[in-house]
Amino acid sequence: MRLLAIDASNQAMSVAVLENQKIIGEITTNTKGNHSQRLMPAIAKLMAEVGWKPANLDRITVAQGPGSYTGLRIGVTIAKTLAWTLGKEITGVSSLAVLAGNCEESSNYLVPLFDARRGNIYTGLYKWESGKLIQVEPDTHVSAETWASHLKNLSGTIELIGEDRVLHQQMFEQQLGDRVVAAALKNHLPKASVLGLLGLLEEPVDVHTILPHYLKLAEAEENWRKEHPDQLEESYVEKI
């Protein structure tokens, strides 16, 4: 199976191509920029470098979030468009799982996180067991203080993953002391190659129904909902 993996869910942008479980090529950048202008050229460049044509692909895998609202929309929309126009399979993977997937050799509880402002984080709880990444608890939007307090119920070492950990590590250390460690520096950036490997394990979904997982509404939408309670939809997920 030939797979294209796309992660534009946060500042770092990463694309990779895999053939079965072999990583053929990968481009990852970690600069502030407009993913809408950079993502498709990165995909085209990578495909050209490895000598693949779009028709050669069998599956598209995309990081579904949480993360940047704009980045998620761009990444998921491009992945859906490619899958639909090419008639290929599509799968989605949690952006937090991609970070946890970097730490395959770790025996610790893995806590990937992205900053969500005002002391809040997007986070989850994962663990590697017998060569498989296990989601111990669902991804969530929560205050760093509340999450650190919640993790006190676990026995064992808590490993923080993600560049935004530096914004909240002190809070975790206050709650958990020396039970908190940071992942190796090389593991804090999401990698599309890891996304692709995880995406190989997922069952394909309907290209029309795959959506970003925001976990939290944008502030403007939250304000709108407060002002228009009579117009609320049942679902909080924005359809694209």
**pLDDT single digits (tens) 168-181:** 999 999 999 999 99
| Cα within 13 Å of Cα(81), Cβ side | 9
pLDDT value of residue 38: 96
pLDDT value of residue 155: 94
Q: Domain check: are 90 and 112 in the same one? A: no
Are 211 and 240 within 8 A, CB to CB? Answer: yes
Q: How many domains does the chain have?
A: 2
Flag whether 236 is in a domain: no
Q: Domain check: are 17 and 63 in the same one? A: yes
Percent of the chain with pLDDT over 70: 90
Q: Domain check: are 24 and 57 in the same one? A: yes
> What DSSP state is assigned to residue 2?
E
Rama region for 32: left / alpha / beta (φ>0; ψ in -120 to 50; rest): beta
Flag whether 177 is in a domain: yes
Residue-wise pLDDT for 75-132, tens only, equals 999 999 999 999 999 999 999 999 999 999 999 999 999 999 999 999 999 999 999 9
User: What CATH number corresponds to the domain at position 216?
Assistant: 3.30.420.40
Flag whether 238 is in a domain: no
| Confidence band, pLDDT 50/70/90 cuts, at residue 238 | very low
Flag whether 178 is in a domain: yes
Mean pLDDT of the residues in the chain: 92
Question: Which residue in 167, 12, 166 sits closest to 99, CA to CA?
Answer: 12
pLDDT higher than threshold 80 for residue 69: yes
Residue-wise pLDDT for 143-169, tens only, equals 999 999 999 999 999 999 999 999 999
Other beta carbons within 10 angstroms of residue 90's beta carbon come to 23
Q: What is the pTM of this model?
A: 0.90
Domain that holds residue 40: 2-95+190-231
Q: Domain check: are 174 and 200 in the same one? A: no
Which helix or strand (DSSP H or E) is residue 141 part of?
strand 132-143
Flag whether 55 is in a domain: yes
233 CB-contact burial (10 Å; exposed 0-12 / middle 13-18 / buried 19+): exposed
Q: Domain check: are 90 and 205 in the same one? A: yes
Q: Domain check: are 108 and 148 in the same one? A: yes
pLDDT value of residue 227: 57
Other beta carbons within 10 angstroms of residue 209's beta carbon come to 9
For residue 221, what are the contacts with CB-CB under 8 A and spacing of at least 6? 238
Q: Domain check: are 12 and 71 in the same one? A: yes
Q: Domain check: are 123 and 158 in the same one? A: yes
Q: Domain check: are 74 and 91 in the same one? A: yes
Mean pLDDT confidence for 66-72: 96
Q: Domain check: are 8 and 83 in the same one? A: yes
Q: Domain check: are 136 and 178 in the same one? A: yes
Q: Domain check: are 149 and 220 in the same one? A: no
